[in-house]
Amino acid sequence: MTLDRVQQAFAAPIQRWREDGLFQTSLWGLADQALISVANFLTMVLLARALSPTGLGSFVIVYTGLLFAATLQAAMITRPHNILGAALQGDDYVRHTTATAVSQVAFATAAALIAIGSATAIHVLRWSFSPLLLALAPALAAWQMQEFFRQVMYTRCRVSQAFANDLISYGGQVGVLIAIWRLGALSGPNALYVLAATSALAAAVGLWQIRADLGRALSWRPIARNWAFAKWLLGANLASWVSDQAYPLFTAAIVGVAATAALRAVQNLVAPAHVVLNAFQTLATPRASAEYGRGGKRALVAFLALASLLAIAPLLVYWLTVGFLGRQLLTLLYSGRYTEYAPLVWLFSLGYLVLHVTQALSIGLMAIHKTRAIFYGRLAAIAVTFSGGIGLVWAFGVYGALLGSILTGVTFTAVLGYHFWKEAMQPAPGAAAPAIPALAETLG
């Protein structure tokens, strides 16, 4: 009887997915994320082989600047476009995309100028990070623009075009890095310059690909709508960056820069899970908004539940595989340099499992425009990071960094779960049933 209820709950969304071609789109999305994940994986392997642990640690620290800019971009530009743009058509959509593109150009330019200013200041102080920061400037600008164009394609479900664009950017990146590595010239700054060049080429192609999405008339109203949606999400993403990226920085300060390199090297082994995680987030975000607009909270919950269950199976298989083979894989990839950290593979896998649950809840709250709840969750996560988290790093070193990260993630997930249950699963006053009766009864 329970199985029948589950089938009934999922029957309608599965049928709509077939009619809308979402399964085919999902395959393109998985292929795209696989390409990106493989490129990032190989890039980190090449850098770990070419650089000393201290050199790799320095690269990882500077690279967090790009991740920070990506966090801001997602909150203020790409996620609002994914959610708000997915519900627009015709001239309204073109005006929205054009205004968002202008704000993206301004943001990318500002990020590059800040990186140049930082590099100049550090050069005056004669710190070793100056060449890396200088190389970060063009990488920031080019990567930001390429990412915006591919996200526009995802908003309109043109995922095969996004894959072609990423093939230029990430495929070209790996090809050039391998050539430089074989020549013995691979360094941290050179890696960033390669990222800048291949991203710039892909951005030029991306501009041509979305030319029909852009117009000549500029309206400031879409920017105001984006900000109204993004202001709480921006606070949440900033808090996310602080709580998540604090652990590598804590590790560098308390244990040493080389320990940060070990964290990144081991994470690289588990990171291919982003093939599924990123595909889930990128595909599900605009789709969740569309499902909510078409069928309300009932359709939204059914969509997220089914999508999450479909994603978790390959993730569990992968995490178990790399967990049992962690020592052998680390020895093979890094010539034994980081083999002693093999137990970290299991902790990273657990952290990614928590992240998957968090993603589903965040997407659901964004779809119903309850981004304030995400902000509150991030505040709770920051409190944990700067109390128990830093204490765990101090007590257990690199292992404490992962334990603290997991504790932070669980706290964030708990807050999101509470708000999502309150907003989406509980019946409104006077309602006769919860948002999705069959599923709620089955799970309860």
pLDDT-based confidence at residue 59 (cuts at 50, 70, 90): confident
Using one digit for the tens of pLDDT, what is the confidence trace for 138-152? Answer: 999 999 999 999 999
The confidence score (pLDDT) of residue 205 equals 96
Give CA–CA dist 378/270, Å, rounded: 24
Which one, of 353, 343, 283, lies nearest residue 318 by Cα? 353
Please give the structure tokens belonging to residue 211: 């030319």
CA dihedral 81, 162, 354, 64 (to 10 degrees): -80
Buried b (16+ CB within 10 A) or exposed e, 106-118: ebbeebbebbbeb
The confidence score (pLDDT) of residue 265 equals 87
Q: Which residue has the higher pLDDT, 87 or 142?
A: 142
Q: Which amino acid is at 434?
A: P
Using one digit for the tens of pLDDT, what is the confidence trace for 287-316? Answer: 787 788 878 888 888 888 888 888 888 889
Give CA–CA dist 62/72, Å, rounded: 16
Calculate what percentage of the chain has a pLDDT beyond 70. 88
Can you give the pTM of this predicted structure?
Answer: 0.66
Please give the structure tokens belonging to residue 21: 């071609």
Please give the structure tokens belonging to residue 92: 């309204």
The confidence score (pLDDT) of residue 86 equals 75
Calculate what percentage of the chain has a pLDDT beyond 90. 33
The confidence score (pLDDT) of residue 124 equals 53
For the chain, the C-alpha Rg in angstroms (whole number) is: 22
3-state SS, one letter per residue, for the chain: CHHHHHHHHHHHHHHHHHHHCHHHHHHHHHHHHHHHHHHHHHHHHHHHHHCCHHHHHHHHHHHHHHHHHHHHHHHHHHHHHHHHHCCCCHHHHHHHHHHHHHHHHHHHHHHHHHHHHHHHHHHHCCCCCHHHHHHHHHHHHHHHHHHHHHHHHHHCCCHHHHHHHHHHHHHHHHHHHHHHHHCCCCCHHHHHHHHHHHHHHHHHHHHHHCHHHCCCCCCCHHHHHHHHHHHHHHHHHHHHHHHHHHHHHHHHHHCCHHHHHHHHHHHHHHHHHHHHHHHHHHHHHHHHHHHHHHHHHHHHHHHHHHHHHHHHHHHHHHHHHHHHCHHHHHHHHHCCCCHHHCCHHHHHHHHHHHHHHHHHHHHHHHHCCCHHHHHHHHHHHHHHHHHHHHHHHHHHHHHHHHHHHHHHHHHHHHHHHHHHHHHHHCCCCCCCCCCCHHHHHHHC
Give CA–CA dist 378/384, Å, rounded: 10
Please compute, for residue 330, the number of CA atoms within 13 A of its CA located in the half-sphere on the CB side. Answer: 24
Tell me which long-range contacts 42-47 makes (C-beta under 8 A, separation of at least 24).
42/174, 42/177, 42/178, 43/173, 43/174, 43/177, 43/191, 44/264, 44/265, 44/268, 44/271, 45/268, 45/333, 45/334, 46/177, 46/178, 46/181, 46/186, 47/186, 47/188, 47/191
Residue that has been written with the tokens 């590059």 in this structure: 112
Residue that has been written with the tokens 């995400």 in this structure: 374
Instruction: Calculate the average pLDDT of the chain.
Output: 83
Using one digit for the tens of pLDDT, what is the confidence trace for 218-245? Answer: 888 888 888 887 777 777 777 777 777 7
**Is the pLDDT assigned to residue 137 strictly greater than 70?**
yes
Give CA–CA dist 118/143, Å, rounded: 19
Q: By the 8 A CB rule, do 199 and 148 touch?
A: no
Lowest mean pLDDT segment, chosen from 66-70, 129-133, 205-209, 327-331:
129-133
The confidence score (pLDDT) of residue 403 equals 93
